Amino acid sequence: MSHIDKHKETFKEEAYELLGELETAFLELEESPDNRELVGRVFRAMHTIKGSGAMFGFDDIAEFMHDVETVFEQVRDGKIAVTKHLVNLGLSAKDQIRAMLDAYGGNEPADESRSTEIIAAFRKLISRDDKKSGAAKAAETGVSGETNCENIVYRIHFRPEKNIFMNGTNPIYLLNELKELGECRAIAHVDTIPPIHEINPEYCYTHWDIILTTGKGVDAIKDIFIFIADNCELNIKVVDGYCESDEAADNEKLGNILVDRGIISPDDIEKALSSQKRLGEILVDAEAVTNEGLRSALEEQSQIRDARKKRQTTETHSNIRVPAEKLDHFVDLVGELVILQQRLSRTASRQNDSELFAIAEEVERLTVELRDSAFSVRMVPIGMIFNKLKRLVRDLSDELGKETDMATDGGETELDKTVIDRLNDPLVHIIRNSIDHGIELPGAREASGKPGTGVIHLSAFHSGSSVIIQIRDDGRGIDTDIVRARAIEKGMVAANAELSEKECYALIFEPGFSTAKEVTSVSGRGVGMDVVKQTIDSLRGSIDVESKKGKGTTITITLPLTLAIIEGLQVEIGNEYFVLPLSAVEECIELTREEALKAKGRHITNVRGEIVPYIRLKDWFFLEGNSENIEQIVITRTGDRRVGFVVDRVVGEHQTVIKALGSVYKNVQGVSGATILGDGRVAMIIDIPHLIQAVEMEENSLCA
């Protein structure tokens, strides 16, 4: 891949991130139209996409963004008000830019007629605004046409990095953009240009001092340099005038100006000032202030200077972009290292070599730290999905004529990126169902004593080695009678079948099931919730439904933090080894042959007064060998249920590197993967929720 192609790919990655930020800002702006900070966020994101797009050859995107940016510049200046129509246009523009970016990846080209339509709508806003006087604009928007800034004189010191040309930036274009803001004079410093035989034509040796007089404000200046902020030295100072939106700035002192111009050095100023008394000394001598008062003021001055210095100091290159494939490969290598470490520990234990055992312990410690570090790199906040879903709630509510707000909690909760990527579609299906089937129309809600606006609440939190995600709405809830009738109509259950609430809720995840009477663009085909169940199952998670008729529905998804390595409990059955996820294990107890016989064929045991059912893994997996006189029961908990698993022997805890099973084993129920033990043998990983479900289905079929 050439340097140009690499830069284009980097631009696309950044542009996709900016589009996500843009969508979030638009949705927040719709709720807070007077928030100037949000308007600034929107404008800066657009300006960056436009400027970087032109820089890297995405001319169609830069051209498309020109009129869009012009409108939002007028919004920022208070000339155009933020309305729902404007937000709709902004979101449409964002979608079109994404389509144009996708087209560069070899996908279908973006619809040019759609671009023309969007630009025409934005130009109407511009032309309509330009035809009116400043007073008329103020009357229409409710915002004064006057800005808080007078013409301010700024001194701008701009020193680009030598290799600025390598990313396609031409500093002259930036200077030309500054000239559009007002009266501008640029002084080029060429003293650092080397002799011609030493010049590298790909380097920029020049830097500039620019004197700019403008009423646009300091943000407009910063916006010009926003996409090269990390590749240049930039200082902007007010040297004359005052602007309420900027920090107050006094006229520069003569000494500072002389130093900036290179006429004198700071040492010259220090020598001159040392010959006269400082202000504090003069005030103390005049008895206008006490020594204590002076020390207090000096401490405050020092504190203010430190605070300002911290605010002005920005960390550059704090983040690096790494392709997901490299992270996946890194985690795979860590997994192989874990297996090798277990082999080393096993060998050291067998040989009874104290020195080798000490080395093995140190390797184990480092491996655990490396494992945790590798996982932390792949962990991302789930809030990135929550932000995307806000747009879905908004658009779908408008389409269905409903009013729905979305509230989120726990967006900072982190989850493995692999899980995050596969979680998007299930959440989309659940949200669509909640709005379509759950949230009522405003009139119906008010008639039942509810607010006209429904609420969908998304929350996420950690629970042990799992993440719990809840989607809660305050809609009509699930009517189990309707669900049961629909299932009978489709032949999913017998007409005389008696179903519990849980069993009724489970029906909504069956393929082809839907309570919708008509097929619409949103629902009715019975496709969606079954896909949700399949995806959550493939992530080794579980899904649970609770609902109250007329009150609302809560869907709870439980997912593992990672799909790569888990803490497991290794057990032995006959000559085979298995691993149970340690996060689900509560305790291990003994099961004697006498106790098993007392149960008279029923697989139940008494655990401190509580009856707990158990599953014999030897019988389920058809393993050979006679049962021991004393077996072990591993008691696990899934949700609010406790179930035991009978094994011959509990070996102990085991760092389990999960390996996917081949297609030959895809129909094996109750197994989610495999792992390699320290001696090279393979152990199956038990999928506890699905094994319990499979056993119950088999028992129900036998009873029927």
10-residue mean pLDDT series, the chain (704 residues): 63 84 88 86 84 78 85 84 89 90 76 87 71 40 39 85 82 87 85 88 89 83 82 83 43 57 68 67 70 58 54 49 81 87 87 88 90 83 86 90 91 86 89 90 92 93 83 92 86 82 86 66 58 85 89 91 80 91 90 85 88 92 82 87 92 84 75 83 87 80 56
CATH of the domain at 648: 2.40.50.180
Smallest Cα–Cα separation from 596: which of 572, 626, 647, 630? 630
DSSP 8-state assignment for residue 645? E
Please name the residues in contact with 206: beta carbons below 8 A apart, sequence gap of 6 or more. 171, 188, 189, 190, 192, 193
Task: Return d(Cα 615, Cα 602) in angstroms, integer.
Answer: 10
Residues 523 and 390 in one domain: yes
The phi, psi pair for 187, rounded to 5°, reads: -110, 115
Task: Return d(Cα 418, Cα 380) in angstroms, integer.
Answer: 10
DSSP 8-state assignment for residue 665? G
Largest CA distance in the chain: 105
**Is 146 a member of any domain?**
no
Task: Return d(Cα 471, Cα 427) in angstroms, integer.
Answer: 8
In total, the chain counts a number of residues equal to: 704
Residues 360 and 376 in one domain: yes
Task: Return d(Cα 303, Cα 291) in angstroms, integer.
Answer: 18
Q: Which residue has the tokens 């759950």?
A: 438
> Which amino acid makes up residue 11?
F
Q: Which residue has the tokens 């709630």?
A: 393
Handedness of CA 101, 104, 106, 107 (dihedral sign): positive
3-state percent helix, strand, coil for the chain, nearest multiple of 5? 50, 20, 30
**Is 305 a member of any domain?**
no
Question: In the prediction, which pLDDT does 517 show?
Answer: 57
**Is 318 a member of any domain?**
no
CB 206 within 8 A of CB 187: no
Report CA 498 to chain centroid distance, whole Å. Answer: 44
Smallest Cα–Cα separation from 690: which of 584, 588, 606, 619? 584
Please name the residues in contact with 372: beta carbons below 8 A apart, sequence gap of 6 or more. none
Rg (CA), the chain: 34
Q: What is the pTM for the complete model shown?
A: 0.63
**Is 157 a member of any domain?**
yes
The phi, psi pair for 185, rounded to 5°, reads: -125, 130
Task: Return d(Cα 197, Cα 139) in angstroms, integer.
Answer: 64
Please name the residues in contact with 9: beta carbons below 8 A apart, sequence gap of 6 or more. 1
Task: Return d(Cα 269, Cα 381) in angstroms, integer.
Answer: 52
Query: DSSP string covering 117-184, please?
Result: HHHHHHHHHHHHHHTS-HHHHHHHHSS-S--SB--EEEEEEEEE-GGGGGGT--HHHHHHHHHTTSEE
Lookup: tokens for 209 = 């001092």
Query: DSSP string covering 475-512, please?
Result: S----HHHHHHHHHHTTSS-TT----HHHHHHHTTSTT
Smallest Cα–Cα separation from 634: which of 611, 608, 612? 612
What's the start-to-end Cα distance of the chain, in Å?
63
**Is 319 a member of any domain?**
no
**Is 159 a member of any domain?**
yes
Last residue of a domain, one of 241, 276, 311: 276
Query: DSSP string covering 184-216, please?
Result: EEEEEE-TTPPPGGG--TT----EEEEEEEESS
Question: In the prediction, which pLDDT does 474 show?
Answer: 93
Q: What is the dihedral of CA 619, 622, 624, 630, to 10 degrees?
A: -20
Handedness of CA 655, 658, 659, 661 (dihedral sign): positive
Burial 230-244 (b: 16+ CB within 10 A, else e): ebbebebebbebebe
**Is 352 a member of any domain?**
yes
Residues 514 and 502 in one domain: yes
Residues 478 and 336 in one domain: no
Domain range for 533:
382-560
Residues 468 and 583 in one domain: no
Last residue of a domain, one of 361, 380, 399: 380
CA angle 198, 201, 203 (to 5 degrees): 90
Residues 496 and 420 in one domain: yes
Last residue of a domain, one of 121, 141, 161: 141
Question: In the prediction, which pLDDT does 440 show?
Answer: 92
Residues 393 and 526 in one domain: yes
Task: Return d(Cα 297, Cα 277) in angstroms, integer.
Answer: 17
Residues 85 and 196 in one domain: no
CATH of the domain at 239: 3.30.70.260
Please name the residues in contact with 52: beta carbons below 8 A apart, sequence gap of 6 or more. 11, 14, 15, 58, 227
Question: In the prediction, which pLDDT does 632 show?
Answer: 93
Task: Return d(Cα 602, Cα 614) in angstroms, integer.
Answer: 9
Residues 128 and 260 in one domain: no
Task: Return d(Cα 422, Cα 406) in angstroms, integer.
Answer: 22
Residues 667 and 624 in one domain: yes
DSSP 8-state assignment for residue 595? H
CB 568 within 8 A of CB 580: yes
Residues 392 and 532 in one domain: yes
Quote the number of domains for the chain.
5
Report CA 580 to chain centroid distance, whole Å. Answer: 31
Lookup: tokens for 615 = 């599953």
Lookup: tokens for 426 = 């299930």
CATH of the domain at 360: 1.10.287
**Is 533 a member of any domain?**
yes
Half-sphere exposure of 16 (CA within 13 A, CB side): 11
Residues 16 and 134 in one domain: yes
